Structure 1
Amino acid sequence: MSIRISSLPRPLATVLTAFVAAVGRMDKSLSPSDTMARLRQHTFTFSDSIYIFHLALAAFWITLMQFPPFPLKLAVPILYTILLLIPLTSQFFLPFVPVASWILTFYSSRFIPEAWRPSISVSLLPTLETVLYGANVSDILTRFTHPALDILAWLPYGIIHFVFPFVVAAFIWLFRPKQALHLWARTFGYMNLIGVIVQILLPCAAPWYELIYGLTPANYSMPGSAGGLGRIDALFGSHGYETTFSHSPVVFGAFPSLHAGCATIEALFISHFFPQMTRYIWAYAGVLYWATMYLTHHYLVDVVGGACLAIACFYLFLPDEFRGPLATASPTSPGRRSKYDAYNLEEPRSRVADMDDFELSSAEEDEMDIPYRSPLPGQQQQMPSEQGKKSHRHTASIASLIRAEERVEDGWSPIMGTFAFPPGSPAAVARERDREDARV
């Protein structure tokens, strides 16, 4: 039985209507030949060289990857290539390339040989926190715990953090132009990719390590810890978080906090593209900042570093076209700026605009079918099609008589019927005198 959209609650009807419209805008082709045709028509620019970086990065990590073993791990690039060739999936997985690079980097970093890894710092972050803020703020926030606070910290840190990027992407896809969705995937992916690379190159211990081991030097054989999320496992009688964090690919990735970075980038996008949700999304970000420290996973300096990384990526990738009203425009809004407005260029003058320069009256419209005539007697002027270029269909009749006196001063007159250059020369004066004598 069909359900009428108008009978649904208004929020649900709005989302369902937007979903139907978004599906209608999708490219539903399954033919790889369509993708290849678009690739041949694409004009490559310097910015496209970033895909060479992604290919090199993927080749590096797949070479290091030990699980799945060879040749099963070749299924990863083969499957992704197929998704890029099919138009229906490539419209999502091509913008997804930065996110895929981040996921591949995060997962494969566990296979880096220990001889390649830098030494782990266990005192850098607590020292910076004390120097910058006068106290170990994260340690102060963990001195008092309560099951209610555990739940309040667990919800944004352990659940919403992993789901909310998909929610943001879905709402942008439904209610904003597709370029905004591409911007979200690009900014979110590069922010996390940069963060993971920094964590690999600058490994630092989290607050939970200080609580368990103090300032004892760390090594890569040590397992990770769930920190305050262990209390959630105890509350629900499970071992999910302990198992997950003990096998984390990046155990010593405290700085920068990508939890704080993700919350910040989500807050920036939501507040920019959906301004009415600003206060709510930043409240969520504030709670998550607190949760990262309360659960002993990050120092305050990590939170600040992650937030700064997110802000830098947001304003670095945000194009000029989304800095104005287009940011809140609907996917089918006609109010988009033209390329001439976007780049502050003068729009080419149209044929109608050029005709206005002649200041003709509406009576000239009747002369559009008059044959073109040359200003020289006895010669027929070529039609525009014969000239091989566009021309205004003005004749030597009424249009040529307009401002005739001014044109005489320029050296030509439709009344005189010939050129006299320079005007007022002796030859021209003599010729005009002969014409007057002939008339008399």
Structure 2
Amino acid sequence: MAGCSPRQAGRTLLQAFLAAVGRLDKSLNPKDTILKLRQHVFTWTDLIHVFHLVVAGFWLTIMQSPGFPLKLLIPVLYFIAILIPLTSQFFIPATPIFAYLLSFYTSRFIPTDWRPSISVSLLPTLESVLYGANISDILTRFTHPVLDVIAWFPYGVGHFVFPFFVAAFLWLFRSKEALHFFGKSFGYLNFLGVWIQIILPCAAPWYELIHGLTPADYSMKGSPGGLARIDALFHGNGYTVAFSNSPVVFGAFPSLHSACATMEAFYISHFFPQYTRYAWTYAGVLYWATMYLTHHYLIDVVGGACLATAFFYLFLPDTLKGPGATAPPGGLPARSQRNKYEIYDLEIPRRNANGIVDAADFDLDEESDHESDDEEVDITYRSPNATGGKFKPGNVRGHRHTASIASLIRGDERTEEGWSPRPGQSTEMSTSTFELFPDPAPAPSPISPFRWAGISPQTTAALRETLQANHEKWHLFFNDRRFHK
């Protein structure tokens, strides 16, 4: 929807939403799900569901709030959701994300005797050794309210909102497999990240600023770090309360903020490549924000980004590579599909008010010294008659005309289409003699189609060099039968 007006963008979103709703299975009968389960052919990959049951059972066992029997509502509601066909379409792919959320919330109830000791100096030491300085400390030495707001938006807002936007756009504009891929890769990324933070607890930069390198214990509360300035700016205490009661206080490594931002940038650049620059700009600003707000060291950011890269390509199926990544789902209008210029990675030419390709797109700077005397005449209405006869323009079809130029490159292979060089001459492009159809009788005054279009011989030569330099790409482009309608 790049370049669209708000009204056009809204209309496109509405059409995509209606099409997505139309693709849903709207059945509310659990028997349909049971029937599908009976017909399912089980494989070794289905053992992942057993793993989820074991992990969920462990967390539910140690969960203290809500207590028994209220906590039993969690598995009951989940099983009801996956039994109903309508809701199962969302809850089953989101199972890895639910596993991450359950692990993150319930980790606060792990007994202290089970927890490993907290490392305070490991991360700053690694950062100094690997990067030559404490980069995160340098970034926090100068603060300003404007910088606080810039850092707050991706770290304190975008991190919690952006995943929902990505999932929604994948559901609306891409295939069902893309949404399933999002659920698996994003969910297991955060699931593993939380477990690493539990097994390898490390103090964040805010701890070093407040307590120095004194040993830490699990009775300590978390800190909002630089987000406390946002609370003061907006006269609230939301971030102070949230981070003080965080289930994972010493979860600096890896940075799941940077991991999620990297993963979301991968999703956008892979499935919506026209927005790549914006996605990675957001990720880059968030990398800086994690260190500016004293929540992570640089080593944490790098670790999270590397983890996200590994999970993205590990879970990316072959069906979503290449053209399958940007293929729209069924039910969307044809205009949402990519045109031939996007498929062959060619710049879409600009056209003037008459629908003719802008001459500037040929990227030819030299002007002919032998231009016609009537420079003021639009080449669209210039007569092909050398004597200056009248010419009445008809319905110009730009594609046919452009395809004829491509035919000059391989005229010997396209004789069956009526394009043939003059008998007895080379198959190379000629700027002086060219015929639309093979005719043994020589024309009295042969005129090149380029000269007919008002293109000078020097311009023709430059155009020929450009076409020959991109021979294969243009040949495939103009002979793609999917667009010859």
What is the TM-score when the length of structure 1 is the normalising length?
A: 0.74
Considering only CA atoms, is the larger Rg found in Structure 1 or Structure 2?
A: 1
Letter of the structure 1 residue corresponding to residue 240 of structure 2? E
Q: Give how far 1:160 is off.
A: 1.0
> Which residue number in structure 1 is paired with residue 112 of structure 2?
114
> Which residue number in structure 2 is paired with residue 270 of structure 1?
268
Describe the superposition over 1:146-174 as per-residue Cα deviations: whole angstroms up to 9, x where unpaired. Answer: 00000000000001110000000000000
How far apart are the structure 2 equivalents of 1:59 and 1:253? 23
Letter of the structure 2 residue corresponding to residue 175 of structure 1? F
Q: Give how far 1:324 is off.
A: 1.3
How far apart are the structure 1 equivalents of 2:235 and 2:9? 37
> Which residue number in structure 1 is paired with residue 278 of structure 2?
280
> Which residue number in structure 2 is paired with residue 135 of structure 1?
133
> Which residue number in structure 2 is paired with residue 90 of structure 1?
88
> Which residue number in structure 1 is paired with residue 172 of structure 2?
174
Are 1:326 and 2:324 matched, yes or no?
A: yes
How far apart are the structure 2 equivalents of 1:174 and 1:219? 46
Q: Stretches of 4+ moved more than 2 A in 1?
A: none
Query: What does 1:236-247 correspond to in 2, within 5 Å?
Result: 236-247=234-245
How far apart are the structure 1 equivalents of 2:153 and 2:278? 15
Describe the superposition over 1:204-249 as per-residue Cα deviations: whole angstroms up to 9, x where unpaired. Answer: 0000000000000000000000000000011111111110000000
> Which residue number in structure 2 is paired with residue 314 of structure 1?
312
> Which residue number in structure 1 is paired with residue 295 of structure 2?
297
How far apart are the structure 2 equivalents of 1:93 and 1:69? 24
Are 1:231 and 2:208 matched, yes or no?
A: no
> Which residue number in structure 1 is paired with residue 145 of structure 2?
147
Letter of the structure 1 residue corresponding to residue 143 of structure 2? T
Letter of the structure 1 residue corresponding to residue 175 of structure 2? P
Letter of the structure 2 residue corresponding to residue 294 of structure 1? Y
How far apart are the structure 1 equivalents of 2:235 and 2:268? 36
Helix, strand or coil for the counterpart of 1:9?
helix
Name stretches of at least 5 consecutive residues in structure 2 with no aligned partner: 338-485
How far apart are the structure 1 equivalents of 2:314 and 2:234? 43
Q: Give how far 1:320 is off.
A: 1.0
> Which residue number in structure 2 is paired with residue 55 of structure 1?
53
How far apart are the structure 1 equivalents of 2:25 and 2:53? 25
Helix, strand or coil for the counterpart of 1:150?
helix
Name stretches of at least 5 consecutive residues in structure 1 with no aligned partner: 1-6, 336-440
> Which residue number in structure 2 is paired with residue 183 of structure 1?
181
Describe the superposition over 1:61-90 as per-residue Cα deviations: whole angstroms up to 9, x where unpaired. Answer: 000000001000000000000000000000
> Which residue number in structure 1 is paired with residue 71 of structure 2?
73
How far apart are the structure 2 equivalents of 1:8 and 1:231? 35
> Which residue number in structure 2 is paired with residue 9 of structure 1?
7
How far apart are the structure 2 equivalents of 1:260 and 1:203? 18
How far apart are the structure 2 equivalents of 1:33 and 1:83? 13
How far apart are the structure 2 equivalents of 1:294 and 1:216? 22
- Residue number among 204, 216, 224 corresponding to 2:214 in the alignment: 216
- Residue number among 89, 100, 103 corresponding to 1:105 in the alignment: 103
How far apart are the structure 2 equivalents of 1:322 and 1:22? 19
Q: Give how far 1:291 is off.
A: 0.2
> Which residue number in structure 1 is paired with residue 155 of structure 2?
157
Task: Report the number of matched residues.
Answer: 329
How far apart are the structure 1 equivalents of 2:61 and 2:193? 22
Letter of the structure 1 residue corresponding to residue 293 of structure 2? L
Letter of the structure 2 residue corresponding to residue 152 of structure 1? I
How far apart are the structure 2 equivalents of 1:215 and 1:79? 45
> Which residue number in structure 1 is paired with residue 427 of structure 2?
none
How far apart are the structure 1 equivalents of 2:210 and 2:239? 17
> Which residue number in structure 2 is paired with residue 45 of structure 1?
43
How far apart are the structure 1 equivalents of 2:230 and 2:328? 42
> Which residue number in structure 1 is paired with residue 371 of structure 2?
none
Query: What does 1:341-356 correspond to in 2, within 5 Å?
Result: none
Q: Give how far 1:8 is off.
A: 7.7
Cα root mean square deviation, aligned: 1.3
How far apart are the structure 1 equivalents of 2:126 and 2:158? 29
> Which residue number in structure 1 is paired with residue 21 of structure 2?
23
Letter of the structure 2 residue corresponding to residue 134 of structure 1? G
Letter of the structure 1 residue corresponding to residue 33 of structure 2? T
Letter of the structure 2 residue corresponding to residue 305 of structure 1? G
What is the TM-score when the length of structure 2 is the normalising length?
A: 0.67
Letter of the structure 2 residue corresponding to residue 148 of structure 1? V
Letter of the structure 1 residue corresponding to residue 274 of structure 2? Q
Task: Return closer, same or farther for 1:8/1:248 CA change in 2, 3 Å cut-off.
Answer: closer
How far apart are the structure 2 equivalents of 1:8 and 1:307? 34
